[in-house]
Structure formats: C-alpha cells, structure tokens
Amino acid sequence: MKKENRSWLGGILGSGPKAHSGDAVPPSSALPGDLNEARKQIAASEAVLVDVREHAEWNAGHVDGAISLPLSILKTLADARPLEQVLPRDKVIITHCMKGIRSEAAVDILKRFGYHAYSLTLNANDLIAAGFGEQN
C-alpha cells in the first residue's frame, strides 16, 4: 500500500492533501495545547497535526499522519495561497515542534492567514509516547 506523502514539498507537488475551501473552523472550546482534545479532533478528522521542525528533524522521525511544514518555510510566505495547497481551511491546525517555541510562532503566522490553529508543547517523541503513531 502506497503511503501518502504528507510533507510540505509533497503537498505542493500534488501527492499530498488536496486544497480545501471554506472558512476557518470556529474556535474550539478546548484550551490550546490540550492533548486529549487534540487527539479527539484528529481522530474525528476535525484537525490536522503539523510538524514545524526542519526537514532533517522530520526525517529523523515524526508522528504518523502529521504534515511537515518547517517554520523556516512558513516565515517566507507573503500570503496564504501556497498553504491552501497543503492545509485545509475547514480544520483546526495543531502545530508541534521540539520545545514549543517554533510551534507558537507558526500559530501566529497561521492565524494571521486566517487559520484556526493552536500549539502543543509536546515534541514528536512525547506525542508518540502519548499514543500518536510513529513514522520513521
């Protein structure tokens, strides 16, 4: 079975998620960073997990099903059009990195582009230990 390429470049090249239209999801009642709520949202296909670490970190191991979108790339975008090829507008965007600093910065950018987003302070290893799948 062929795995879907969920990386930033894979999405741009057409093998990742398709573009979605519509308004951003209204704010959830969950507190930002709530792991249980994040797990429920992802399981119900209401949210997507975005790993904002650099490609080398992603390649060393990441959460199965996450989308790779390095903060360094996100910072270069002038508008949301490239994101719309990768990130669905009708879902909550949940970011994570190694310590939470980059994921918070990514949330600020995503919100500026009209996405409903929040950050998890857990890193990929913590998420895997908490029951999210691992992909090497």
Is 117 part of a structural domain of the chain?
A: yes
The reply to whether 136 falls in a domain is no
What is the reported pTM?
A: 0.76
Residue 103's closest CA among 66, 133, 60?
Answer: 66
For the ranges 24-33, 36-45, 70-79, which has the lowest average pLDDT? 24-33
User: Which domain covers residue 72, as residue numbers?
Assistant: 8-17+34-131
114-129 tens-digit pLDDT: 999 999 988 888 888 8
Residue 56 is assigned to a structural domain of this protein: yes
Q: Rounded to whole angstroms, how far apart are CA atoms 93 and 65?
A: 13
Mean pLDDT for the chain overall: 78
What CATH number is attached to the domain comprising 101? 3.40.250.10
The residues that bridge with 49 in the sheet, in sequence order, are: 94
- Give a yes or no: residue 73 inside a domain: yes
- Structure confidence by residue, pLDDT tens digits, 88-117: 999 999 999 998 899 999 999 999 999 999
Q: How many domains does the chain have?
A: 1
* Pairwise CA distance, residues 85 & 79, whole Å: 12
Confidence at residue 28, expressed as pLDDT on a 0 to 100 scale: 39
77 within some domain? yes
Contact indicator for 39, 28 with CB cutoff of 8 Å: no
Q: Is residue 28 part of a domain?
A: no
Identify whether 93 is part of a domain: yes
Q: Is residue 1 part of a domain?
A: no
Give me the amino acid identity at 86: V
In the block, which residue shows the tokens 């582009």?
A: 113
